Amino acid sequence: MNAAKHRLLLISLTGGFAALVVAVVAMYPSGDPAGLPAPLESVFPRPGDVLAAQAEIVIELPPDYVAGLVVDGRPVSPDEVVAVPATGTLRWRPGPGHVIERWEPGEHTVEVSWDRMPGRVPDPGAFAWTFRVI
């Protein structure tokens, strides 16, 4: 192979790689395939996570929001949720006397719905995701 063919091959490979990088950045600009809707700041476990049976659900919203939780189609009583209004953090885990007493192995679905606290401009929304327990 002569120098011209090597140069053409190198240019073609470089161009193909550049096109691949541009396509990936265009499809996933944040590097995260699934974003959370505003104002939801974070959830744990994240969508698609695989966890041990001790998993705890953690939801973070801005402090002026209230939220409801449904796990595997069962509404969770507000008495079971540990809420920290100052930080907007909600925590829940299965336990004795709770709507779910322990995680069974397999896929689980969490649904959170939210709105601003009463007396503020409404901003309702909802988000659902799944994770797996091993």
Q: Which domain holds residue 128?
A: 42-133
Residue 21, Cβ neighbours under 10 Å: how many? 10
Task: Tell me the pTM.
Answer: 0.73
Q: What is the C-alpha separation between 35 and 37, in angstroms, rounded?
A: 7
Task: Assign residue 71 the CATH number of its domain.
Answer: 2.60.40.1220
| 20-48 residue pLDDT tens | 454 544 455 545 545 899 999 999 999 99
| Average pLDDT of span 98-103 | 96
Q: How many domains does one find in the chain?
A: 2
- Do 72 and 124 have their domain in common? yes
Question: Is 131 exposed, middle or buried (CB count within 10 Å of its CB: 0-12, 13-18, 19+)?
Answer: buried
- Do 12 and 71 have their domain in common? no
- Answer whether residue 130 shows pLDDT above 80: yes
Mean model confidence pLDDT for the chain: 87
| 3-25 residue pLDDT tens | 777 676 667 656 555 554 545 44
The pLDDT-based confidence of 78 (bands split at 50, 70, 90) is very high
C-alpha distance from residue 110 to each of 15, 47, 48 (Å) = 43, 9, 11
